[in-house]
A and B are shown apart, each in its own frame.
Chain A
Amino acid sequence: MSTLSERILGADAGDYVDRKVDRAYVHDGTGVLTLESWKSMGGDRFADASHLYVLFDHITPANNSTTATLQHELREFACSSFLQFSDIGNGICHQLMSEGIVLPGEIVVGADSHSCTLGAFGAFATGVGATDMAAIWLTGETWFRVPATIGVHLSGTLDGVAEAKDLALTYVGKLGMDGATYQALEFIGEGAAVLEIDDRLVLCNLAVETGAKTGIFYADTMTVKYLAARGHDVLPQVPEPCDYCRELDLDLADIVPVVAVPPRVDTIKPVRDLAGLPLDQVFVGTCTNGRYSDLARFARVVGGRKVAVRTLIVPASRAVLAEAIRTGVLADLVDAGCTIGSPGCGPCLGAHMGVIGEGEVCLSTANRNFRNRMGVGGEIYLVSVATAAASALSGEITEPEVP
């Protein structure tokens, strides 16, 4: 009897295995070094170019001519080599892979730490560095140590104002920043079954903040329906009894709005403990919380009022932006005084488009609040979308009200 990671990798926890990678992706940040390493390895062809993706999202559009030149070289290479290429403005690599590309049971590797996001579909998805990725370009394979798994049992339903992000930050706080190093988090139970795909993506996205190799959900009727709407006919994965190295029980009904206090993702406090902290910027977006459901939730909380602090909203993908235009959510956000950025990672990694200054405080829906990450001398508090919206209205950290 196996965990889902053991089943997909076809070996027991602790074993070292070489496995064919079903899909492998890089972005403009890691792709440049991947290409360099691949060339240095003597690369002159690919194991299978049709399963290799180059997705520009980190500094898009380019912030200066150095970046533009690096992107130009990688773009030319990707297109002339017939890799699957996505240019600036299409969106975040993990989001694009989640819009009907990654399928249950696949082995997916991204040259980005948040590649674990795709475990939401019952795939074994994990991040590597550029040179590991270069070897995958060359051979189509990589090695894994099959992870032991922490079973995260979810019960109940989220009610009131808490959302998947609060649940995710809560488990990061309980496990700690290295609580799951080299391990997988498997989300199971009746509480997992009722979570929407967008919620599952949030929970898997934060897995790496505990050091985990991946976060993973079993594909179920929700997954089958989501992928059917995107043209894929897939089967659910049926859980079987298995051995977890540790188990964590979380009742969704107990989850309250929380904040990750800088500079650690695992310093978790209830929003009410920090209420009143003045803000310089609110940022809504990223591979954690930049989906259509997030933009719609933000607009719903704002409800026709104006934001009191500069607020930057960056859709996770072109599809998200298009949906927000179609439904009128985008107009609501613009009318509320928000600034809309081009789909991509935005200022999350501190390179462009909304970095913060010395002494400034940013309330963000992203996944990292490391020291200086979004700008030297600035501080990042991580929250849910509803908390971001309530706080944007007041200009200070504010607990959202029960809708």
Chain B
Amino acid sequence: MQGAGTAVCLGSDIDTDIIIAGRYLRTKDRGIWVEHVFEDLDPMLASRMKGAVIVAGKNFGCGSSREQAAVALKEAGVVAVVAPSFARIFFRNGINVGLPLIECHLPCTAGQNIRFDLTGGWVESGRKRHPVRPLSLRMQEILRAGGLVRYWKGHR
């Protein structure tokens, strides 16, 4: 599982309210989540999500269990999120919707090209390659299937 994208740098403890606010949750229209992703942090961020690799600080995705946060990032075109640690519900949600999450402390330079290989267990920014903590086998299977919905479809 390889991928690449453009670095968008964010801070630590990015909570799910900031990723997608509670006022936008009562809909099944994914376009609304894409349109308002990170709105309360920076209204311009949504336009920079396509092809982005978000490089954040620790505890990314803390707070509410809302899966819309992971879906919003995925649907907006985020390729992967790299952070030293993730809140556990967000971590499960991300993998479940097919969004690669990479546990690694990565220095961030905005606009830099980031490449990663989840099977090989590394992420690269500029010319420097960093080892990443491998996903559990189950999570790798779910991600490879394209998310938990497709994983279970394939198992039945």
- Give the B-binding residues of A (Cβ under 8 A): 16, 29-30, 32-33, 36-37, 40-42, 59, 63-64, 66-67, 70, 111-113, 127-132, 134-135, 138-139, 143, 145, 177-178, 181-182, 211, 213, 264, 349-351, 368, 370-373, 376
Contact = CB atoms under 8 A, between A and B. Distances in A.
Given A145-B136, A370-B17, A129 B152 contact: no
B28 A129 contact: no
B113 interface: no
Contacts of A40: 149, 153
B2 interface: no
A59 B152 CA distance: 31
Contact of A66 (B26, B70, B138, B153): B26
A135 B148 contact: yes
A368 B63 contact: yes
B156 interface: yes
Closest CB pairs A-B (n = 9) = A178-B59, A129-B93, A129-B67, A349-B22, A113-B65, A131-B96, A41-B152, A130-B67, A350-B22
14 contacts: A33-B67, A66-B26, A66-B27, A70-B26, A112-B64, A113-B65, A127-B65, A128-B92, A129-B89, A135-B152, A145-B136, A177-B59, A178-B87, A370-B17
A349 B20 CA distance: 12
Nearest to B90: A129
Contacts of A139: 152
A132 B136 contact: no
Nearest to A62: B26
Interface of B: 13, 15, 17-18, 21-23, 25-28, 40, 58-59, 62-68, 70, 85-90, 92-93, 96-97, 136, 138, 147-149, 152-153, 156
B60 to A, nearest CB: 10
Given A113-B63, A349-B22, A350-B23, A177 B97 contact: no
Contacts of B23: 350-351
A41 to B, nearest CB: 4
B149 A111 contact: no
A178 B26 contact: no
A128 B152 contact: no
A174 B2 CA distance: 39
Which of B25, B58, B68: most chain A Cβ within 10 A?
B25
A175 to B, nearest CB: 12
Contact of A128 (B22, B40, B89): B89
Given A42-B156, A111-B65, A112-B65, A371 B148 contact: no
Contacts of B148: 37, 41, 131-132, 134-135
Given A42-B153, A129-B93, A131-B147, A372 B13 contact: no
A128 B153 contact: no
A264 B152 contact: no
Contacts of B89: 113, 127-129
A351 B27 CA distance: 13
A16 B107 CA distance: 31
Contacts of B152: 41-42, 135, 138-139
A148 to B, nearest CB: 13
A376 B40 CA distance: 8
A349 B87 CA distance: 19
Nearest to B86: A181
Nearest to A111: B65
Given A67-B26, A368-B63, 18 more contacts: A30-B66, A41-B152, A42-B153, A64-B26, A113-B89, A129-B65, A129-B67, A129-B93, A130-B67, A138-B152, A145-B136, A181-B86, A211-B88, A351-B26, A368-B64, A370-B15, A370-B63, A371-B17
B18 A371 contact: yes
